[in-house]
Amino acid sequence: MNHNNNFQQSSDGRHDDDAALTEFLSSLMGYTPTIPDELVEHYLAKSGFQCPDVRLNCCLCFCRIRLVAVATQKFVAEVATDALQQCKARQAAVVKDKRDKQQKDKRLILTMEDLSKALREYGVNVKHQEYFADNPSTGMDPASKEE
Amino acid sequence: MNHGGGESTSRSESRTDTSSDRPKAEDFSRAVSKMAVAQICESVGFQGFKDSALDALSDIAIRYICDLEIGKCLVGSGIVKEIIDFVESKEEIPFAQPIPQYPVIRSRRLIPSFEEMNETPPGKHIPSWLPAFPDPHTYIYTPMWNERKSDPRADKIELARQRRKAEMALLSLQQRLVCNGETGTSASRPANDEEELPKTGSNPFFAKPLQSGEKDISPVGLPAKLKDKMSGGNHMSVMEAFAPAIEAVKVSGFSDDADGDRRYLPEKRPAVHFKFRAGKKFLGEILDSSLQKKGGRRSASFWRDEEKDDKKRRAEFILKQSIENPQELSQL
């Protein structure tokens, strides 16, 4: 269905696209994404996206940066939402066993377990080491993924 | 915004201590992304995070940014629509501004290249556009040199020059005295120029101002004793020039000149006594005495006599000093 949509759009001409784009851009300009522009600019520059003067000269670059920031924010929010659902599901499952835990775990905490489950649907494999026998103080988890 | 339990914060602290001492370039952007992701998760509904989970998610977010392909035309794809929906839905929540208002991640100061430093790279295998090597003083102990410029040869030359200057002064004085001896009242400074010009070269500033008829005046008749010695030319030793004076000194000793005997200088000069003082003070006294005497009698010619008298006295004093302390000539 997406494919059909694409075909339709290209054949209908770009008026709709332009209208949608301009509408989107206008809405985009009024929205400040949570991910700051400088961070996005930094990583875009790393991957080869050149933008000499972001705000002054090229409005298009600025739009691109904002677009990327918004897209990333959307992605992270989705992952977080999924993880949240996982967390809630886990809590709901546990509550059946003990009533104490329900009162304790009212706080929703993002854990590796929930995150790895949520990311698996996006094709990201995050491995989490259960415990460290030698040095329990170190907490850095190696995150490996395949996209 | 909470981190999941105290354990995670302490873990993060210990981790930073043990992992690496130096902050790397990526650390700042990683920290920023971590904050942004945490903010997003908070807006989703989380109340706390495990450190490891937050790190993983922020890392994934960074990779997402890097792997986004901007070259592709996003317009035709459905992603844009999704984003639009997302934006519209997200706008319901108030804008979560990231906490740091950070200026810029960039601004790097590069090490200047060999070309910029105008240095040639030591080694043909090193191209000149590479950054220059650090200066040797940064890694080798180089001794500090005392910048006092004491050149013994130059000092000797300077000393010799001063002695020559003193000698010249004495000679000129002697000339003047000789002339005074011959002609009592003429205000002349003959032959000084002859003496001085050859020595000082063609420098016009060293030439004494000649009075109009000075050079045409008939040559001064020198006393017989001095004539023989002076005929030789410009170069004569101080002792020869002052020979008569020296003899006079030896014979009669120095005595003060009488006040009345000023108009005509006797050929044979009486011995003059001088009180020995420092050179400067002596000269100062001479000037004072000349001024004092000037106050008494105001004829110009007579004042000139006073001047000559003082000069004569000065010369005799210098002579005596030179006899007794030959090495102190340079002080003149």
Residue A71 belongs to some domain of the structure:
yes
What ipTM, to 2 d.p.? 0.75
A105 vs A116: which has the higher pLDDT: A116
Exposed, middle or buried, B92 (CB in 10 Å: 0-12/13-18/19+)? Answer: exposed
- Note whether A67 and A116 are same-domain residues: yes
Residue A12 within any structural domain of the chain: yes
Lowest mean pLDDT among A67-71, A139-143, B11-15: B11-15
Contact indicator for B24, A85 with CB cutoff of 8 Å: no
Q: Is there a single domain that holds both residue A40 and residue A17?
A: no
Examine residue A142 and state whether it is found in any structural domain, yes or no.
Answer: no
A71 in B contact zone (CB under 8 Å): yes
Residue A104 lies in a domain: yes
Residues A52 and A83 in one domain: yes
Q: Are residues A120 and A48 in the same domain?
A: yes
Interface-testing mutation among A76, A88, A114, A135, with chain B (most B C-beta atoms within 10 A): A76
Partner residue facing B44 (CB), from A5, A20, A84 = A84
Total domains in chain A come to: 2
**Statement to judge: residues A68 and A84 lie in one domain:** yes
| SS3 per-residue string spanning B259-320 | CCCCCCCCCCCCCCCCCCCCHHHHHHHHHHHHHHHHHHCCCHHHHHHHHHHHHHHHHHHHHH
Q: Is B29 touching A (CB cutoff 8 A)?
A: yes
Measure A110 CA to nearest chain B CA, in Å: 4
- Is A145 part of a structural domain of the chain? no
Residues of A in contact with B95 (CB under 8 A): 31-32, 34
Give strand pairing partners of B3.
B49
A25 with A88, same domain: the answer is: no
Say whether both A84 and A21 belong to one domain: no
Best to test chain B binding among A4, A109, A131 (most B CBs inside 10 Å): A109
A8 and A43 co-located in one domain: no
What is the mean pLDDT of the segment spanning B28-42?
87
Alpha-carbon dihedral A23, A25, A27, A28, rounded to 10 degrees: 160
The span from the first CA to the last CA of chain B, in angstroms, equals 90
The tens digit of pLDDT for each residue in B173-223 reads 999 999 888 765 544 444 444 444 455 456 777 776 776 665 666 656 666
The 10s digit of each residue's pLDDT in B157-182 is 999 999 999 999 999 999 999 988 87
Residues A68 and A113 in one domain: yes
Residues A110 and A98 in one domain: yes
Q: Which of B93-102, B107-116, B144-153 has the lowest mean pLDDT?
A: B93-102
Query: What domain range is A16 assigned to?
Result: 1-30
Of A87-101, B164-178, B279-293, the least confident: B279-293
Distance CA B54, CA B38 (A): 7
Average pLDDT over residues B299-317: 74
pLDDT (0 to 100) of residue A70: 84
Question: Model pTM?
Answer: 0.45
Determine, yes or no, domain membership for A65: yes
- Residue B158 pLDDT: 92
Range name among A59-63, B9-13, B41-45, B300-304 with the lowest pLDDT average: B9-13
| Alpha-carbon dihedral angle through residues B78, B82, B85, B89, given to the nearest 10 degrees | 180
- Residue A95 forms part of a structural domain: yes
Residues A95 and A109 in one domain: yes
For residue B106, give every residue at least 6 positions away whose Cβ sits within 8 Å of its Cβ, in sequence order, or none. A42
**Do A18 and A54 share a structural domain?**
no
In a domain, residue A144? The reply is no
Residue A7: HSE in the Cβ half-sphere, 13 Å Cα cutoff: 4
